[in-house]
Structure 1
Amino acid sequence: MEQSLSRRAMLGALGTAVAATAGCQTPGMGSESSEDSADQSSQAATDQSDSVYTDVYQEVADAVVSIRVYAETTAGGQGSGFLIDDEHIVTNEHVVAGGSEYYVRFADTGWRSATVVGTDVYSDLAVLRIGSTPDVTPLSFVASEPTVGTEVVAIGNPFGLSGSVSAGIVSGVDRTLQSANNFSIADAVQTDAPVNPGNSGGPLVSLEGDVVGVINSGGGDNVAFAISAPLTQRVVPSLIQTGDYDHPYMGVGLQSVSPRIAEANDLDPGSGVYITRVVDNGPSAGVLQGSDGDTTISGTEIPTGGDVVRQMDDTPTPTRQALGSFLALETSPGETVDVLVERDGTQETVELTLGTRPEP
């Protein structure tokens, strides 16, 4: 849940200013030249104010809401959200967690009561429902994931300052964020757009006004993250229909193959996803193998003997992030996937039927 205003943190808020220059007529300058100069100054001011950021803000801001959450035992908190249809608002699960009363406010309205229709702690997404909405166009999601370097805009309510906008680029994709119970959120978008407490749940949008992701965290070192549009589009419909979402589950401990793991396990190439352990009675029990020993390299114990996942179905898995994104975006509980593993120096394909991630 987002915390209340922090005066210290507000010092980092982004502001924009437009400077105007006043001129005076010099000796020998005729009235025509003076008028031309004034026209040029006016045109320059217009060009400066009509930026792409102004355009996208004006297009998107009406669908972005402030969220206030009240709890029975705490002071509650605040966050952001955005309208996706005539009655539903998307935000973060951590914004509404622990609350008992929920209110939303559009740019030109007062506070309206809302109810939570679904939450998912494993993707940090939640959906609110309101009884009526102003005449506002809901936001749509990008058709495809953005490339690194794409310009984006974060719109929301940092520190309770409603209607704030900050700009940056997509500085990374396919990131992995920490979730509950040592699970992770796959396919996250990284941005350098300034994001602070109160932005959580708001939209990160392209310059065309389409949602690239749901802002999840940020606040330092020019690094912030958003839950990707593809993952949001998988989770949110289920939250609206059933109130929750079932994530696929392998029942293993995973880590990307590091140089030391590659050395200890004679792996060439030194990539893939190493299975550190297999959960008893889980989906991978009897199918995949976890570590059965270790060795010491430069004073550090390195696990050995575990399977290395090279590919799932037709998708290569050179890193844990790639495997996580495949599971999150391409599979569902109950599906059977072909897993290409390297085991004891040879490669083989095994069939794995995915389970459902345990309740948090």
Structure 2
Amino acid sequence: MLRKLFHVEPIAHEGHGFETGDTVTPVEPETLLDAFSQAVVRVVQRVAPAVVGLHVVRSLGMPQRVAEVPGAGSGFLIAPDGYVLTNSHVVHRARRIVVSLADGTELPAQLVGEDPATDLAVVRVQASGLPVAELGDSDRLQVGQLVIAIGNPLGLQASVVTGVVSALGRSLRGPDGRLIENVIQTDAPLNPGNSGGPLVDTRGTVIGVNTAIVAGAQGLSFAVPANTAQWVVGQLLREGRVRRAWLGVVGELRSVPGRYVPERGEPRAAGVAVLQVVEGSPAARAGLRAGDIIVSLHGVPLRSPTDLQRLLSRAPVGSTVTLGVVRQGKLLTLQAELAAEPATSR
């Protein structure tokens, strides 16, 4: 399966051009194609043995009439003792998970943990001495760089496609509605079943986890960056979930006079109107009330609830944040000590 998207948020990215006076040495086209082909072959030989297929079964319907719905996706081994990285939406609420190794062996798998906010999950099979794919540094990627995607589209095992990095720093919404930031956009032609498979550079290191395409479009594919995956995997292996900082409010976008947000220098600004404060939450302990409007966090103006969510996601659990709050026409400053987001049964 591969999530289909209809909206993404573009973030500008500056490219690099040729400087005046640069010279280009002519190279025979056949030489370039041969070099590219050899690079792809080397990557496939190195990474493909670690790429797996996932077959899942979900139970849908009422207790009296339960239907078993099959699903499929891709993943790749990240540890020789059977840990597999894939997408959350591939294994979410699966009653049964079976992993198909590159040699055709099928093994039952257990869910270690998942993070719908980044659409990542880790499952494990009981095996040892398995080949692994190495997670690289996605911060070193450049627009135009060649990439290779390996997966199991439509059940076709170990299919290989190539493309380039079309853009960096994209944002898209995960299955739980949160924004996934710094997403990699490529033109690699992915299909249902590629979800969870590795996006690899020409050195054979994984720089992303393929997660979504834009429905009805061509050459618009997206991958969660490897650096995000490394952080999430560490959390899932330790705790089975990702601990994020939590404030404990329900809010909506609200316009406020610009004088409350002088940093913007505009006659009108925006804030997050608090509709509800969760009892016992950091927001409640800080003195936030329903009707308050949060206009800044640590002096950074808020333009939407998404801005508040983004800034909170970067704050460590247990840290103290400074909130700029408009209450009954007055600008207040409140301090809130962030707690870990409560676990939910998604």
CA distance in 2, matches of 1:208, 1:347: 54
Instruction: Report the counterpart of residue 7 of structure 1 in structure 2.
Output: none
List per-residue Cα deviations over 1:192-222 (Å, max 9, x = no partner): 3333321111122333333333222214334
CA distance in 2, matches of 1:45, 1:175: 33
Instruction: Report the counterpart of residue 295 of structure 1 in structure 2.
Output: none
How many residue pairs were aligned?
301
Bigger share in strand = 2
List per-residue Cα deviations over 1:227-255 (Å, max 9, x = no partner): 33333223222322332233222223567
- RMSD of the TM alignment (CA)? 3.7
Instruction: Report the counterpart of residue 223 of structure 1 in structure 2.
Output: 220
CA distance in 1, matches of 2:184, 2:273: 27
Q: Quick one: which amino acid aligns to residue 189 of structure 1?
A: V
Instruction: Report the counterpart of residue 244 of structure 2 in structure 1.
Output: 247
List per-residue Cα deviations over 1:84-131 (Å, max 9, x = no partner): 111200111221123222222232333222222222333322211112
Contact 2:147 2:165 in 1 (8 A): yes
Verify: 1:283 aligned to 2:282, yes or no.
yes
In structure 2, relative to structure 1, the CA distance for the partners of 1:311 and 1:196 (3 Å cut) is farther
Instruction: Report the counterpart of residue 59 of structure 1 in structure 2.
Output: 46
Verify: 1:115 aligned to 2:107, yes or no.
no
Instruction: Report the counterpart of residue 138 of structure 1 in structure 2.
Output: 133
Instruction: Point out the more displaced range, 272-281 or 344-353.
Output: 344-353
CA distance in 1, matches of 2:45, 2:270: 44
Unaligned runs of 5+ in 1: 4-39, 293-304
Verify: 1:338 aligned to 2:307, yes or no.
no
Query: Which secondary structure state, in structure 1, belongs to the residue aligned with residue 122 of structure 2?
Result: strand
Contact 1:78 1:95 in 2 (8 A): yes
Contact 1:204 1:215 in 2 (8 A): yes
Q: Quick one: which amino acid aligns to residue 49 of structure 1?
A: S
Unaligned runs of 5+ in 2: 3-27, 60-66
1:83 Cα deviation after fit: 1.0
Normalised TM-score (structure 1): 0.68
Instruction: Report the counterpart of residue 95 of structure 1 in structure 2.
Output: 90
1:338 Cα deviation after fit: 2.8
Instruction: Report the counterpart of residue 353 of structure 1 in structure 2.
Output: 337
Name which structure has the greater RCO, CA cutoff 8 Å, separation 6+: 2
In structure 2, relative to structure 1, the CA distance for the partners of 1:307 and 1:331 (3 Å cut) is closer
CA distance in 2, matches of 1:151, 1:346: 54
Normalised TM-score (structure 2): 0.70
CA distance in 1, matches of 2:227, 2:213: 20
Identity %, equivalent residues: 27
List per-residue Cα deviations over 1:34-62 (Å, max 9, x = no partner): xxxxxx99867744632x44443333222
Highest CA radius of gyration, 1 or 2?
1
In structure 2, relative to structure 1, the CA distance for the partners of 1:246 and 1:146 (3 Å cut) is same
Contact 2:89 2:175 in 1 (8 A): no
